[in-house]
Amino acid sequence: MHNEELHKIAKQLVAENKGILAADESISSANKRLSDVGVEGTEDNRRRYRQLFFWIPKIEEGLSGVILHDETIRQNDENGKPFITILIEKGIIPGIKVDLGAVNLPLFSDEKITEGLDGLRGRLKEYYKMGARFAKWRAVITIGDGIPSDACLDANAYVLAQYSALCQEAGIVPIVEPEVLMDGDHTIERCEKATGAILKRLFAELVKYRVDLEGLILKSNMVIPGKDCATQATPEEIANATLRVFHNSVPESVAGIVFLSGGQSPKDATENLNAICKQAGPWPMTFSYARALQAPSLEIWRGDDGKLQEARDMFLKRLHLSVKARNGEYRSEME
């Protein structure tokens, strides 16, 4: 029964015509986003930022789940209603970011390892009692001179597998996010190689530690050239490279794949998702966007509640376009 429930939740998260909102920015990341639009990074302003989206009527028509930060899962709206209750009442599955961020990998310059395993079993029990039914853990993989190293790939794959096992033990669906960053001037070929390397190691570790892949979701970068690469790629080239990696590295039993936007513009993230989802694969594929969904609305709102409706309309537009792309039905004229 435990596994059946995990399978059910995982399927709901990648349901047709829906995606996941990643509203799990750390306090420092949320403060930076607010500061960039002239809003002070206070706890109340972070709460208002979340409320901007959670209050939107009918967002459940395009969202299966929302990933929350520890601060957000404990916050209430201005009427005193817990955010997690608002989501549950809309039929949206609450999720929680449980990693504690990436730090320098000891003795390996310019590479990262993600912390947060210590005490995770207890934290997961608490989050489950609060209503969270899935979690997310992000690993950071950098492409550069001689990196990613085998040590970095192995260490992050091991940590992701341990996190996943602890999640499933707690009745929580793990989302594993081994993000290969866009930072740098690397080619699409190097991104494809690095993405394949971490995914192969990751799934070998997951199988080793008896993680049920039907109760797990992969959150992946798209295979894209570095943002400083002289030769950029078309959506079709990105789709072909991304799916080639998945077919070579991701078991068919995985419940689904969701994509991060990874610093792409909202339009690019939508066009590339559309090109990928036009091609059939054995896994349901959809989006799990943060900036690509929220940033245009934040630019409009800028802390001015007189702009709430306009900001919310923009969010619904980006959500609608992302759903279209998830179905391979997006066209650039829809912008």
Asked whether 247 and 276 are in contact (CB, 8 A), the reply is no
Instruction: Judge whether 172 lies within some domain.
Output: yes
Instruction: Judge whether 198 lies within some domain.
Output: yes
Instruction: Judge whether 201 lies within some domain.
Output: yes
One-letter-per-residue 3-state SS of 238-288? HHHHHHHHHHHHCCCCCCEEEECCCCCCHHHHHHHHHHHHCCCCCCCEEEE
- Mean pLDDT, rounded, for 99-120: 96
CATH of the domain at 56: 3.20.20.70
Instruction: Judge whether 333 lies within some domain.
Output: no
How far lies 98's CA from each of 1, 68, 152, 240, in Å? 25, 9, 20, 32
Instruction: Judge whether 335 lies within some domain.
Output: no
- pLDDT (tens digit, 9 = 90+) per residue, 29-52? 999 999 999 999 999 999 999 999
Catalytic residue among 97, 112, 136, 219: 219
Instruction: Judge whether 60 lies within some domain.
Output: yes
- Find the domain containing 158 and state its range: 2-100+108-328
Q: What is the pLDDT of residue 302?
A: 96
Give the total number of structural domains in the chain. Answer: 1
- Where on the phi/psi map is residue 263: left (φ > 0), alpha (ψ -120 to 50), or beta? left
Catalytic residue among 177, 179, 192, 205: 177
Q: Is the pLDDT of residue 59 over 60?
A: yes
Instruction: Judge whether 86 lies within some domain.
Output: yes
| Residue 67 amino acid letter | I
- Mean pLDDT, rounded, for 198-212: 98
Beta strands in the chain, from DSSP E residues, in sequence order = 19-23, 63-68, 93-97, 102-104, 112-114, 134-141, 173-180, 217-220, 256-259, 285-289
- Mean pLDDT, rounded, for 310-323: 97
Highest mean pLDDT among 1-10, 311-320, 326-335: 311-320
What is the residue-averaged pLDDT of the chain?
Answer: 96
Instruction: Judge whether 44 lies within some domain.
Output: yes
- pLDDT (tens digit, 9 = 90+) per residue, 66-96? 999 999 999 999 999 999 999 999 999 999 9
125 is catalytic: no
324 is catalytic: no
- pLDDT (tens digit, 9 = 90+) per residue, 209-220? 999 999 999 999
Q: Is the pLDDT of residue 139 over 60?
A: yes
Q: What is the pLDDT of residue 86?
A: 97
Q: What is the pLDDT of residue 280?
A: 77
